[in-house]
Amino acid sequence: MKFLLKDGKEIECEGKTGLEIAESISPSLAKKMVGYLLDGELYDFRIIPSHGGKLTFIFEGDKESYDILNHSTSHLLAQAIHHLYPEAQFGFGPAIDEGFYYDIDFKDVVLNEEAFANIEKEMARIASSGIKITREVVSKEEALKIFQENPYKVELIQGIEKEITIYRQGDFVDLCAGPHLASVSKIRHFKLLSLAGAYWRGDIHNPQLTRIYGTSFFTDEELKNHLQILEERKKRDHRKIGKELELFMFSEYGPGFPFWLPKGYDMKRRLEDFWLQIHRENGYVVIQTPIMLSKELWEVSGHWFNYKENMYTSTIDEKEFAIKPMNCPGGMLVYKNTIHSYRDFPLRVGELGLVHRHEASGALSGLFRVRTFTQDDAHIFIRKDQIQEEVINLLKLFDQIYSIFGLDYHIELSTRPEKKYIGDIEIWNESEKALAEACKASGKDFIINPGDGAFYGPKLDFKLKDSMNRIWQCGTIQLDMNLPERFDLTYIDTDGSKKRPVMLHRAIFGSVERFLGILLENFAGALPTWLFPTQVVLLPVATEQQKEYAKELVKKFKEYDIRAEVDLREEKLGYRLRDAQVQKIPYSIVIGDEEIKKNTVTYRLYAHKEQITVPFDEFIKQIKEEIDSKALRK
């Protein structure tokens, strides 16, 4: 087999593990290796490659090495739990973004975070022993015998049709596909972070296990830096900011259903108005479809059979109806309302649609996970020969919108799910290839996310990176050749025949509510001036004349569509200035006798101590330019 290395060299070998291949090149290289990539897929260094291809060795500090480290740390956690709580049974223990977790059934023991110190101490003791981590391939019968006392592992084993592997470290063995480190001695800098409840395999009907979250790094400095970031994230929690700034609330009368307070509603509406404006500029028409539609429609769309457990239903006139969890079926009906020609394409139809999805109560989390949200949807109808061009245009639109908020992103191509999907595999393969080619043609790198496509088609997922280095799933482009078939959508082609259009589902914010939550945490509540509900607060020093002058200025600001208000509370100026800073208002303007006399304003920017005095007209020009350009705050 031939392998192309990162430096461009080609080597040939057969029957060697990844480690042995590395050793044949350089023994010193092999000592630093923790795994390898073959054609972009991560493998344990103990595995013999099944085919040739592009081979990249993974070393400590490489992005993929942290997945291997954290996965190994989850097993170290499980081994420590095994020692301290012998009756505990283990479910899943994967690596996740920035860490790991393990789902554990502690039986009659109620674990709390106070136990973390003892667990970490035992983890450190095991790590210091330096025991090796070994990998074994076993038969299903052998695996069932090894884990016969653990119903969770037995259930997993019974569902495995491919090769079964286990990993051992001392007296602990776990069912796992890997990859893992060579020894526990590499696991030195870790921290257990939190506890949560988690239903086995995410099913509310299954037992609830205890999920322990943690994180692990190769150096103490990395760990300390990460823990500092986590502390900063707590301060930026959008639920905390939303309460402090009086933006939104939740009620026990509607768990998962957000209430928008006046300031928050203003912020949300401005984000939606921006969305409408930029889409109309890019050739979209905008529609609105009903929130509730009949069961028959959801049967045609496939949602009734593939998504019913997440839908709210009701009976009207002895017929079953469902509140929409997605906007797509309504968009199909709008398309069918008119006869279309090839000349109509691309037909770009946008909708800010309110959708409802029944999320498990334990999964609800502020604006990040709600049961009703506004999806910034669009359905774009095109011919097959227009796919690449239209996806390229969409990628430009995504760039344009995300850059306004200073957000970086990467793209993941999510392919056909293994089980729940509709349509022929040939159509899926064609669709996946079309999305990949569009990315390549537009110069966009992407990674493959196998099996994570929607049930009706593959998609490009846009993962945003915020100021705290967190990754958020927001935008998506989904190529759908299935729903046009199911809804019998057609257009008249050049020769007068009826043809089937291709459809792109597309969202950029994903959820307006969730996107606002992300922005609140990204900017620590200090959203850009154009989006902030109060852009200017005027603070008269003391006299009635100053108060009346401030009121007049508010009227002038309104003429320029600048949102201003006067703080007339009987409090000292210093107190009101500090409060304006707490409220994160972009501009605080002090009104004294000199400002009235000279027609000037003395302003202070949020998070700045300097006070600047400028003519009123100059200030108007400055803030208007900032608002109109949608600039980020200084």
Nearest of 377, 376, 372 to residue 332 by alpha carbon: 377
Would residue 461 show up in a list of annotated catalytic residues for this protein? no
Contact 329, 301 (CB under 8 A): yes
- The one catalytic residue in 75, 82, 180, 505 is 505
Would residue 505 show up in a list of annotated catalytic residues for this protein? yes
- The one catalytic residue in 226, 356, 357, 371 is 357
- The one catalytic residue in 328, 348, 514, 583 is 328
Three-state SS at 246: coil
- The one catalytic residue in 44, 105, 377, 480 is 377
Would residue 385 show up in a list of annotated catalytic residues for this protein? no
Q: Which residue has 């060579």 as its token pair?
A: 182
Over the Cα atoms of the chain, what is R_g?
A: 29
Contact 153, 142 (CB under 8 A): no
Integer CA distances (angstroms), 142 to 89, 335, 360, in order: 19, 56, 36
* Pairing assessment for the beta strands 53-59 and 2-4 based on DSSP bridges: parallel
Q: Return the bridge partners of 341, or none.
A: 492
- The one catalytic residue in 324, 379, 506, 576 is 379
Contact 513, 258 (CB under 8 A): yes
Nearest of 276, 243, 240, 237 to residue 259 by alpha carbon: 243
Q: Which two tokens stand for residue 621?
A: 């020009």
Three-state SS at 493: coil
Task: Compute the Cα dihedral for 326, 327, 332, 333 and give only its sign.
Answer: positive
Nearest of 210, 110, 105 to residue 151 by alpha carbon: 105
Would residue 377 show up in a list of annotated catalytic residues for this protein? yes
Number of H helices, E strands in the chain: 20, 33
Alpha carbon 540 to its chain centroid, in Å, reads 44
DSSP of 37-82, one letter per residue? EETTEEE-TTSPPSS-EEEEEEETTSHHHHHHHHHHHHHHHHHHHH
Distance CA 186, CA 61 (A): 13
- Terminal CA-CA length for the chain: 56
Contact 198, 92 (CB under 8 A): no
- The one catalytic residue in 375, 386, 478, 546 is 375
Integer CA distances (angstroms), 182 to 55, 88, 579, 627, in order: 20, 26, 55, 55
Q: Which two tokens stand for residue 457?
A: 């088609």
Q: Which two tokens stand for residue 148?
A: 């016969």
Distance CA 476, CA 505 (A): 8
Catalytic residues: 328, 357, 375, 377, 379, 459, 505
